[in-house]
């Protein structure tokens, strides 16, 4: 680790533990995700971004987001997302984003893991949301942190039932999900009175501060890697947790942050696919071939890091182009990201031709 990183790491720790740091101890927290994404983009040779398509996409995205009046309010309009602006929704979102990863399957649409809830068959991200809602309907306190450390009440069998499938395939990375629940339950119990509300309050209304707190105190949120010898942070689930709170609570209460625009795109496997369809991002032939053959890419492989870093940077470029078109557009990286995820799912349902998403199996996204 270079001196620079050691300083960053140490200063973040000192600042958060003892309020120490360079000069002004109250220097606003930074996640360094966007700066790391630019570093990856500047040093990527297998993934490229295209400014002409980015400018064209910015026109279309701005137009569609305005036509659909896309805003934080869109979040609660989704059928399965909780609507109440209270602690139960806070706990739901924390549980959801603790487990918001790796839903993709090697099986067919018919055989893949699926959850039937209120008469609809859900897959992917929505299968997780449906499973949590179903568990709550069945009286299982799956969104209560103290439940996660109760190995009797919250046994593997109980969790198998919570995540039971309509098909033979169990939820991907079932053991990894248990490990996340157990660790989060323990850390919340030891450091935050088993309360997600206390954790959020410790973020002091700073989105970057809460993201850094999650990455520092929970290993299961510490989404980072080494690229070209430098530590890079993606912090996808920590960031999407803050973004979901901001959207669900419409920027108030638990969702009130004074630096929400420091949150970047969430480096997952769905939005990169959409960026490719828009012509904003492209892959070198060997990488494109691997993706089209549905072959997996190992976690922390340079190709994976280039896809994730360039995707974050691509959304930043889109955001800048949109603001050039309309400087007062009430749009940030979060809303662009949410919009592109939803658009990708609409196009998938409409069976619009697209490159497959990349396949990396990990708990980070
Ligand atoms: N970048 C980004 N990644 C997102 C989401 C969401 C859902 N967010 C909801 C909240 C507000 C929005 O309006 C969405 O309705 C899930 N994912 C990620 O995608 C993958 C799942 O894909 P599939 O298997 O096809 O469902 C998996 O890595 C999951 O973590 C997002 O918004 N942005």
- For the chain (365 residues), the mean pLDDT of every run of 10, in chain order, is 58 60 70 98 98 98 97 97 98 98 97 97 98 98 98 97 98 98 98 98 98 98 98 98 98 98 98 98 98 98 98 98 97 98 97 98 98
CA–CA gap between residue 142 and residue 159 (Å, rounded): 9
Q: What is the pLDDT of residue 4?
A: 52
* 208 CB-contact burial (10 Å; exposed 0-12 / middle 13-18 / buried 19+): buried
Question: What is the CA(4)–ligand 1 centre distance, in A?
Answer: 33
Question: What is the CA(237)–ligand 1 centre distance, in A?
Answer: 10
Question: What is the CA(354)–ligand 1 centre distance, in A?
Answer: 17
Question: What is the CA(269)–ligand 1 centre distance, in A?
Answer: 9
Residue of 103, 106, 83, 102 lying closest to 93 (CA atoms): 83
**Pocket lined around ligand 1, Cβ cut-off 6 Å:** 75, 78, 100-101, 103-104, 124-125, 266, 268-271, 337-338, 341-342, 365
Report the interhelical angle of 33-42 vs 302-325 (nearest 10°): 110
Whether residue 344 contacts residue 283, with contact meaning beta carbons closer than 8 Å, is answered with no
Q: What is the pLDDT of residue 3?
A: 54
Q: What DSSP designation does 275 have? A: H
Q: Looking at the CA of residue 348, tell me the nearest atom of ligand 1.
A: 25
Q: What is the pLDDT of residue 27?
A: 86
State pLDDT tens for residues 263-290: 999 999 999 999 999 999 999 999 999 9
CA–CA gap between residue 110 and residue 344 (Å, rounded): 20
Q: What is the pLDDT of residue 59?
A: 98
Q: What is the pLDDT of residue 23?
A: 47
Q: Which of 228, 268, 328, 342 is catalytic?
A: 268
7 a catalytic residue = no
The protein residue with its alpha carbon nearest to ligand 1, atom 1, reads 266
Question: What is the CA(175)–ligand 1 centre distance, in A?
Answer: 21
Q: What is the pLDDT of residue 22?
A: 47
CA–CA gap between residue 126 and residue 21 (Å, rounded): 42
Whether residue 298 contacts residue 23, with contact meaning beta carbons closer than 8 Å, is answered with no
Q: Looking at the CA of residue 103, tell me the nearest atom of ligand 1.
A: 24
**Cα–Cα distance list, 107 to 112, 172, 272, 362 (Å):** 5, 11, 21, 18
Q: What is the pLDDT of residue 26?
A: 73
Other residues' Cβ atoms within 10 Å of the Cβ of residue 197: 14
The protein residue with its alpha carbon nearest to ligand 1, atom 9, reads 338
* 132, 243, 270, best to mutate for ligand 1 pocket (most atoms within 8 Å of CB): 270
């Amino acid at each position: 680790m270079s001196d620079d990183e050691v300083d960053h790491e140490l200063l973040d720790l000192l600042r958060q533990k003892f309020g120490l740091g360079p000069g002004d101890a109250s220097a606003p927290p930074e996640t360094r995700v966007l700066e790391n994404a630019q570093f990856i983009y500047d040093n990527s040779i297998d993934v490229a971004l295209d400014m002409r398509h980015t400018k064209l996409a910015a026109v279309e995205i701005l137009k569609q987001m305005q036509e659909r009046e896309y805003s934080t309010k869109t979040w609660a309009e989704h059928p399965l997302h909780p609507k109440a602006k209270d602690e139960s929704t806070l706990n739901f979102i924390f549980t959801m984003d603790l487990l918001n990863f790796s839903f993709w399957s090697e099986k067919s649409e018919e055989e893949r893991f699926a959850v039937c809830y209120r008469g609809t068959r859900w897959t992917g991200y929505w299968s997780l949301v449906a499973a949590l809602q179903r568990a709550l309907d069945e009286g299982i306190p799956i969104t209560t942190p103290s439940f996660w450390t109760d190995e009797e009440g919250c046994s593997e069998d109980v969790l198998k039932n919570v995540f039971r499938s309509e098909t033979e395939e169990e939820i991907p990375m079932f053991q990894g999900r248990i490990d996340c629940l157990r660790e989060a339950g323990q850390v919340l119990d030891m450091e935050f009175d088993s309360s997600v509300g206390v954790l959020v309050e410790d973020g002091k209304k700073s989105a970057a501060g809460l993201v850094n707190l999650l990455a520092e105190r929970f290993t299961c949120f510490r989404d980072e890697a080494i690229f070209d010898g430098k530590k890079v942070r993606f912090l996808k689930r920590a960031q999407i947790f803050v973004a979901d709170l901001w959207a669900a609570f419409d920027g108030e209460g638990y969702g009130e942050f004074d630096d929400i625009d420091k949150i970047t795109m969430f480096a997952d496997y769905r939005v990169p696919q959409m960026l490719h369809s828009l012509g904003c991002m492209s892959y070198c032939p060997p990488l494109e071939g691997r993706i089209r053959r549905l072959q997996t890419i190992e976690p922390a492989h340079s190709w994976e890091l280039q896809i994730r870093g360039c995707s974050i940077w691509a959304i930043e470029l889109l955001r800048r182009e949109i603001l050039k078109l309309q400087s007062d557009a009430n749009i940030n990286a979060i809303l662009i990201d949410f919009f592109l995820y939803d658009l990708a799912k609409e196009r998938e349902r409409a069976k619009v031709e697209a490159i497959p998403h990349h396949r990396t199996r990990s708990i980070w996204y």
